[in-house]
Structure 1
């Protein structure tokens, strides 16, 4: 099996951890697998290098300086593998076999990178390449970088272009956990998680794998996250399933908007749970929700609106923090999710402006880390769908 194994900074943060990494790589090679290794800078090396720049510096010089962390890690891991009798070679920008090339815009040159990655893959039966993560090289031969989470991006991108069966991200967490084990008791490993679930967690603080890296995940490429203490690259941890797709979905059932207002609503702990729980108790599903400083809005099926208004009115009467409930119209929810949406700037603005230009009113916009929902008049739904499809 062909595997790309990426070792993060914490998993290479000491001599003992470098030895652990080398042992796991050597064991996989001994078992007959083809292994390519991607390394981050050891520990907090990159931060230390950046802190040392106390002067104006050109981007090219800055990239050369910060590249020293990954270059050092590559040499350390290569040497540790050689000490174990593994034929290894460090691969870095400027070298004959370096694969990751960027164009004049700083974007990955897919065609050239693929060609070079495949050429490097052809050598994996003879040698274990140890590549510097995060770094790239432009067509002029200058060092560039892949941005935040660049080492993860290097690994998944190369796994894709090198025809690997799996990319293994070795880090300081035992895969994806049900909660932060430093905060909650009983946190356990999640055996499988979808790319969309993980990206939602990643954009909201989970430091497992850079969301940008998963843009390179193809259906046939496995991606797994394991703890550096695990010692086995080929099993354990959390498997990341699926691929990103840009999906445009039009709600098939009309929605009504129920808004509960109250000047003291922001200072009433648990009020959202009280209102949504009351709807749940009578079997009414909430399609979407939004909150403001003095109101909470629920979107639910229009056929449930009358009953929902009655239920919420009872809570308004019982709660001093609430003043009134109102119901409005029939709306359609138009949602865009997945794909490269979270990394594209101006998506919400683009949707609203495009609809406005065609005289379609957006009554509400509800966003998450990975999706945007626009509420439009029910009668405008088909036209709005066509406009958004043409745009995205």
Structure 2
């Protein structure tokens, strides 16, 4: 099996942890597996280096300075592997076999990187490359960086381009947890999670796998997250399954928009839960929810709009902080989904502006980490879909 193993800063934060990492790599090699290693800077080295730059450093100088953390890690880990009789080399930008490149704009040069990664993969049965994460070689030489979480990006990207069977992210948590174990009691490991679920969690604060890395995950490439104390690269942790699929979807049936207003509702804990529960208790599915300073809007199937209005109206009567409920029928929703959306600056304006030029009024717009939902009048749905498809094609 061909594996790309990425060791985060915590998992390389001391000599003991470097030994543990080297033991797990050596054990996998002894079992006949092909291993490539991506190493982050030890501990908090990168942050410490950044804090010490108390002057106006040019970008190339800054990149060279912060690269020292990763450069040290790969040398330490390579030496630990050599001490165990494992044939290993360390690679950093400028090395003859370096595999990660950026173009003139600082973006990953996919073709050049694919070619270099394939060449490196062809020799994995003879040597273990220990590669600096986070770093790349620029179009004119020199060091560039891949941004926050760049070591994760290096690992999953190389796993993809090296035709690996699996990428193992070795970190300081036992895979993906049901909650932050430092905050909530009883947090447990999730055995499996979809790439879409993890991408949404990552963009909302979960520090497990960098969102930028997950866009390189294909359906055939397994990604697994394990704790550094586990000591086994080939089992345990959380499996990340699936791949991002860009999709433009239009709901086939019209929605109704029910808005509950109340000036004091923003200071009323539990009001959203109570309104949602009232609809749920009557088996009314809520397609989407939007909230404002003084209102909450529910989108439901138009066929149940009258029943939903009566339910919410009763809540208005019973709850002194609410003023009124109103309904707007014949609403269409078009959803744009895709793992690359968060990496596209201006994606919202790129969708909204063409609709404005076509004199299509947007009833509502709801975003998440990897999707955008546009609500328009039912009669405008086909034209809206056509415009969005043209823009994203």
- Could you say whether these structures have the same fold, taking a TM-score greater than 0.5 normalized by the shorter chain as the test? yes
SS at match of 2:196: helix
Q: How do 1:147-296 and structure 2 match up within 5 A? A: 147-296=147-296
Q: How do 1:97-176 and structure 2 match up within 5 A? A: 97-176=97-176
* Matching residue of 1:324: 324
SS at match of 1:216: coil
Q: Cα deviations across residues 331-389 of structure 1 (Å, max 9, x unaligned)?
A: 00111112300111111122111111112111111111111111000111111111101
* Matching residue of 1:310: 310
CA contact (8 A) 1:247 1:339 kept: no
Q: Cα deviations across residues 266-311 of structure 1 (Å, max 9, x unaligned)?
A: 1111011111101111111111111111111101011111111111
Cα distance in 1, alignment partners of residues 266 and 327 from structure 2: 21
Q: CA deviation at 1:82?
A: 0.7
Q: Cα deviations across residues 19-52 of structure 1 (Å, max 9, x unaligned)?
A: 1100000000000001000000000000111111
Q: Cα deviations across residues 116-157 of structure 1 (Å, max 9, x unaligned)?
A: 111111121111100000000013211111111110010011
Cα distance in 1, alignment partners of residues 308 and 300 from structure 2: 9
Q: CA deviation at 1:107?
A: 1.2
Cα distance in 2, alignment partners of residues 140 and 254 from structure 1: 54
Q: CA deviation at 1:329?
A: 2.3
CA contact (8 A) 1:331 1:375 kept: yes
* Matching residue of 2:41: 41
SS at match of 2:215: helix
Aligned residue pairs, count: 392
Cα distance in 2, alignment partners of residues 133 and 354 from structure 1: 40
Cα distance in 1, alignment partners of residues 223 and 246 from structure 2: 20
Q: 2:17 aligned with 1:6, yes or no? A: no
Cα distance in 2, alignment partners of residues 329 and 123 from structure 1: 63
Cα distance in 2, alignment partners of residues 235 and 293 from structure 1: 48
Cα distance in 1, alignment partners of residues 334 and 158 from structure 2: 35
CA contact (8 A) 2:196 2:339 kept: no
Q: Cα deviations across residues 185-210 of structure 1 (Å, max 9, x unaligned)?
A: 22111111111000010011100000
Structure 2 residue runs without a partner (length 5+): none
When structure 1 is superposed on structure 2, of 30-39 and 354-363 the one drifting more is: 354-363
Cα distance in 2, alignment partners of residues 164 and 187 from structure 1: 31
CA contact (8 A) 1:257 1:329 kept: yes
SS at match of 2:54: coil
Normalised by the length of structure 2, the TM-score is: 0.98
CA contact (8 A) 2:23 2:231 kept: yes
SS at match of 2:86: coil
Cα distance in 1, alignment partners of residues 294 and 37 from structure 2: 53
CA contact (8 A) 2:5 2:36 kept: yes
Cα distance in 1, alignment partners of residues 333 and 10 from structure 2: 43
Cα distance in 2, alignment partners of residues 346 and 104 from structure 1: 21
Q: 2:301 aligned with 1:298, yes or no? A: no
When structure 1 is superposed on structure 2, of 2-11 and 110-119 the one drifting more is: 110-119
Alpha-carbon RMSD across the aligned residues, in angstroms, is 0.8
Structure 1 ranges of 4+ moved more than 6 A: none
When structure 1 is superposed on structure 2, of 352-361 and 164-173 the one drifting more is: 352-361
Cα distance in 2, alignment partners of residues 321 and 386 from structure 1: 42
SS at match of 1:356: helix
Cα distance in 2, alignment partners of residues 35 and 345 from structure 1: 36
Q: Cα deviations across residues 312-331 of structure 1 (Å, max 9, x unaligned)?
A: 11110110100111111210
Q: How do 1:379-390 and structure 2 match up within 5 A? A: 379-390=379-390
